[in-house]
């Protein structure tokens, strides 16, 4: 008479497909962080590094869409007009840079 439902009884919040996608979106949104503010000194250090760049490998940390990202490689392009740099095909706006250093 008593049937064991197995794992079904332990997954009450994912019983409907709509609930599962909504819960996944909420979990993803909860992991977002605010854009970190960098000090004026650090901004000047990053600017100096970009002005005197000589094809060395760099380590870049940047914020995008609520998440921190990391890029490691050689800078392909520094565009002062449109204010971005390109590392291994990845375009990073200057305003999103949090840290940039030589490896």
The pLDDT value given to residue 19: 78
Q: pTM here?
A: 0.77
pLDDT tens, 25-83?
Answer: 999 999 999 999 999 999 999 999 999 999 999 999 999 999 999 999 999 999 999 99
Beta strands 90-93 and 97-102, pairing class: unpaired
Q: What average pLDDT does this structure show over 87-93?
A: 95
Q: How many CB atoms lie within 10 A of CB 59?
A: 14
Domains of the chain plus CATH, in order, are: 40-102 (2.30.30)
Distance CA 57, CA 27 (A): 35
The pLDDT value given to residue 18: 74
């Amino acid at each position: 008479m008593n049937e064991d439902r197995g794992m079904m009884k332990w997954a009450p919040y994912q019983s409907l497909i709509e609930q599962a996608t909504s819960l996944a979106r909420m979990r993803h949104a909860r992991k977002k962080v605010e854009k970190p503010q960098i000090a004026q000194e650090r901004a000047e250090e990053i600017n100096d590094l970009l002005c005197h760049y000589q094809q060395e490998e760099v380590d870049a940390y940047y914020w995008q869409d609520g998440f921190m990202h990391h890029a490691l490689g050689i800078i392909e392009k520094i565009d002062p007009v449109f204010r971005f740099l390109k590392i291994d095909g990845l375009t990073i706006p200057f305003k999103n840079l949090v840290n940039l250093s030589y490896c």
